[in-house]
Amino acid sequence: MTTHCTAPLADIRFCLYDLLQAEKLFTTLPGCETLNRELADAVLDEAAKFSQTVLAPLNVVGDKEGCHYDPQTGAVTTPAGFKHAYQQYVDAGWAGLTAPEALGGQGLPELIGAPVKEMIDSANLAWGTYPLLSHGATEALRVHGEDWQKQAFLKRIVSGEWTGTMCLTEPHCGSDLGLLKTRATPNADGSYAISGTKIFITAGEHDFTANIVHLVLARLPDAPKGVKGISLFIVPKFKVGRDGSQGEHNAVHCGAIEHKMGLKGSATCVMNFEGAEGWLIGAPNKGLNAMFTMMNTARLAVGLQGLALSQRAYENALGYARERLQMRALSGAKFPDKPADPLIVHGDIRRMLLTQKALIEGGRALGLYAAMLVDIQHRSRDAGAAKRAEALVSFLIPIVKALLTENANECTSLALQIYGGHGYIADNGMEQYARDARITTIYEGTTGIQALDLLGRKVMQLRGEGLHLFLADLGAFCTQHADDASVTEFMPKLTALAKEWADVTQVLGQRAAANPDEIGAAAVDYLFYSGYVAMADAWVRSVAAAAASAQPDAFKTAKTQTARFYFARILPRTRTHLAALQAGAESVLAMPDALFG
């Protein structure tokens, strides 16, 4: 059974052109001089068409069939139709959409690539995981690779002829990369022999491409202990010479694929490296720095995955609520000519639908803003603007990744609830979205890891540089729109929260200086608090942008009323998170381990 899949182009275009003023941005960014609204809209239209007609019908196929693993050869066969869809993707040029033109890409900004990714993942997230890490591998090699590595590997990844992976996790260590044991032994020809086992490797093996380029974290023989002794290596499935020629099968094989709760059409692999030929990327023992070039890109992408699943579930739940007849409205029949009223008239159904709508549209505004900052960081000729954007996006990425994926769990659960028993069974697709969404809060760093990154590193270690910039922008917006009637009702709450956010952060910093455990105890609540305030800012900006736009009156009204719901029903969650993070670490840490039994 195929559920409905209609790309939310109206809201995407609103975010791009009205909220973020993308057309003005394109004229200032190098490489975007020829990009205009007509071209951008054409790209979005084609992405919607590809997603809806090619990928969406395969979503349930991938879930039911899953991937097939041959233990004799280590080969992985993807679900029926997946490989052909990938070839169509490559033939249409989607693989290199945002890659530099010098590498064979189209050079489009991330602000266009991000909504394309949302549409692809909304149609078929399991399929979308295969090209996902190629984007990150491109960035890592482009920034840190040697010239010959760029020539030998990059163009083929950009074209989609090959795909890339990111190999971090090992059986004994997940997020604690300081414990990894994979070894890299130097060879006489300048290459390295890579030995070890990596697990949970997305698209580590598949039948899409002739080669797969693994980016692998490993230790050199003389490496210091901990994260300071990690290096990054290119380890292709088939050996690649310095001239780019593809050789024999490398000593890397898929040892198994995982049997998972969701994303069954995505191959999650155990990868065994048995003295495989690899090449060092960047400086020895500096692999984590190079890997984070991939990681930040991947974390933003996973946030968009959460948004995509939320959108698909909401679209179908809304359609069901409009059609399904159940009981009468409490205030009297709304459709007296029918045997019962549709679900959408009932208060609790409307609460669940509005919660989804508010989190999705607020999340889209926040996620695309982060994508725009990535473009400014990497493309702006103004060094100051680029540095400012880097600090802002570094601060926002853990919020976007964690909040949008946690929202996906909430939104897919609410969509299933609207269907009732018909959501719990497989026939209507809702339970697949709920299962698929669950991993998004885990891979590329759990919500707890994102929270520690936000509070421990981005706020405490970096002295809140990104937060200060964000609050400065928020304050400037409030000053600029002080007399804007469209947002007057929201301003007192937004300005009060901005001050509170700064004050709370300062107090947390003082407590953490006396007891570092305060960071761990408060981090997740601090992240949610920050995320809901950041989304409130996005909502007020959205209302102001809609009011000043040429959008239809109905669109403007919907933005205002959804913002009111967000401020009245979702933003109060900050009170709970504030109380929890202010409660201190004692209640979290006081109980002896033995008493947990």
One digit per residue, the tens of pLDDT, for the chain of length 597 reads: 568 999 999 999 999 999 999 999 999 999 998 999 999 999 999 999 999 999 999 999 999 999 999 999 999 999 999 999 999 999 999 999 999 999 999 999 999 999 999 999 999 999 999 999 898 888 889 999 999 999 999 999 999 999 999 999 999 988 888 889 999 999 999 999 999 999 999 999 999 999 999 999 999 999 999 989 999 999 999 999 999 999 999 999 999 999 999 999 999 999 999 999 999 999 999 998 888 877 888 899 999 999 999 999 999 999 999 999 999 999 999 999 999 999 999 999 999 999 999 999 999 999 999 999 999 999 999 999 999 999 999 999 999 999 999 999 999 999 999 999 999 999 999 999 999 999 999 999 999 999 999 999 999 999 999 999 999 999 999 999 999 999 999 999 999 999 999 999 999 999 999 999 999 999 999 999 999 999 999 999 999 999 999 999 999 999 999 999 999 999 999 999 999 999 999 999 999 999 999
Predicted confidence at residue 288, as pLDDT, reads 85
Nearest alpha-carbon partner for 565 in 343, 409, 317, 352: 352
pLDDT tens by residue, 26-73 = 999 999 989 999 999 999 999 999 999 999 999 999 999 999 999 999
Domain boundaries, given as residue ranges, for the chain: 9-144, 162-286, 447-587
Report the distance separating Cα 293 and Cα 550, nearest Å: 39
Topology, domain 162-286? Butyryl-CoA Dehydrogenase, subunit A; domain 2 (2.40.110)
Which amino acid belongs to residue 385?
A: A
> What pLDDT score was predicted for residue 291?
80
Handedness of CA 211, 215, 217, 221 (dihedral sign): positive
The pLDDT of residue 400 is 98
The owner of tokens 């898929």 is: 254
Closest CA to 290 of 193, 202, 362, 217: 217
- Taking CA atoms, 86 is separated from 4, 55, 225, 337, 374, in Å, by 21, 9, 41, 49, 27
Q: Which residue, 353, 362, 452, 438, is CA-closest to 400? A: 362
Expressed in angstroms, the distance from the first to the final Cα of the chain is 45
395 Cβ contact partners less than 8 Å away, ≥ 6 residues apart:
454, 458, 459, 465, 466, 467, 469, 470
d(CA 318, CA 305): 20
Helices 430-438 and 383-419 pack at an angle, to 10 degrees, of 140
One fold for 9-144 and 162-286: no
pLDDT at site 2: 65
Buried b (16+ CB within 10 A) or exposed e, 537-568: bbbbbbbbbbbeeebeeebbebbbebbbbbbe
Q: Give per-residue pLDDT as tens, 449-473.
A: 999 999 999 999 999 999 999 999 9
Distance of CA 19 to the CA centre of its chain: 20
* pLDDT for the residue numbered 294: 77
Q: What phi and psi, each to the nearest 5 degrees, are found at residue 217?
A: -85, 130
Cα–chain center distance at 478: 29
What number of other Cβ atoms are within 10 A of residue 398's Cβ? 27
The CATH code of domain 9-144 reads: 1.10.540.10
Give CA–CA dist 369/382, Å, rounded. Answer: 19
Q: Is 444 an active-site residue?
A: yes
| d(C-alpha 10, C-alpha 540), whole Å | 19
From 139, 315, 390, 444, active-site residue: 444
Going by the DSSP 8-state scheme, the letter that residue 144 receives in this structure is H
pLDDT score, position 1: 59
Helix (H) or strand (E) holding 77: strand 75-77
Q: What does the pLDDT read at residue 289?
A: 84
